[in-house]
Every structure is written in C-alpha cells, then in structure tokens.
Amino acid sequence: MLAIAGKILRDYGRVLGEIEPGCCALPESFLPHPRTRIHEATISVLKRLDPADETLRDALIRGFVFLRQFVDDAEAERVAEGQAQLDALALDAGQTPQSPQALDALRVLNRIKLEMEQALVQACQAAGLPLERAPSMLR
C-alpha cells in the first residue's frame, strides 16, 4: 500500500514541477491520478512519516494544499475567462467586477481558498503537527 502511495505522490510531484507558479484554478485532467487517490496517498504517508523528516513532511503538506487548486476542467476554463476580465479591471482601480464571468471566477477562487485552508488543517492533523508549525508559506 505504501509503495502505491509513493508512486502516486511521485507522479503528482512531477506534475507540480511543471505547473506555472501563480495559477489559481487548474484543470483536474492535468492530474496523473484521480484527486481522491492523491488525497488518500498523501494522508496515508503523512500518518506514517517519521516526525524528524520535516522536509518531506512540509513538501507533502504543500502538495496536499495545492491539490485543491485542481478543479473540474470546465470550471477551470470559466475561471480563466473570468480571470482575464478581473485582470483588466485591476487596471482600473476601484472597479468592482460586474460581469457574470468575473463573478463566477471570484466565487470559484474563494471556494478554492477555503478548501486550501481546510486542507492545511487536515494535513497538519494527519502529520501530528500543530497548525502554528505548518510550513511557513502556507500560514
């Protein structure tokens, strides 16, 4: 079981290495395995990991949290379209997005942020790590 989890996580790690930083909503089809399998593999390894292996633990937690940015492909496309409108609005400071696409993108992005926070809590619990000691880039 642990060997399978290791393969799943290595495959997922390769995908993460190819992702452009700053992406907000990525198509789930980019994932090498179903999201639930990556989720289960990460939790399984975090629960069994030697507490002294902080580097691997922190990398697993970051990957687990980042997994929430992978959404249904159609939803990722809608976010990309809405994001383009939001970026244009950012040039005109003080403007509030009014288009349905921009509002839909904001809803999805807010949901992703919430899910990422929940994932951080779950990963820290699996690793037996107090939340205040979570990897610094995630706090």
DSSP string, 34-89: -HHHHHHHHHHHHHHS-TT-HHHHHHHHHHHHHGGGEE-HHHHHHHHHHHHHHHHH
67: which 2 tokens? Answer: 């997994």
In terms of residues, how long is the chain?
139
- Per-block average pLDDT, block size 10, for the chain (139 residues)? 92 93 87 97 96 92 96 92 67 62 86 95 93 70
pLDDT of residue 10: 97
- H/E stretch holding 104 reads helix 100-127
How many distinct structural domains can be found in the chain? 1
CA distances from residue 18 to 42, 63, 72, 101, 107 in whole angstroms, order as listed = 19, 13, 19, 27, 26
Q: What single-letter amino acid sits at 135?
A: P
CB 99 within 8 A of CB 116: no
What residue numbers bound the domain in which 26 lies? Answer: 2-138
> How much is the pTM?
0.86
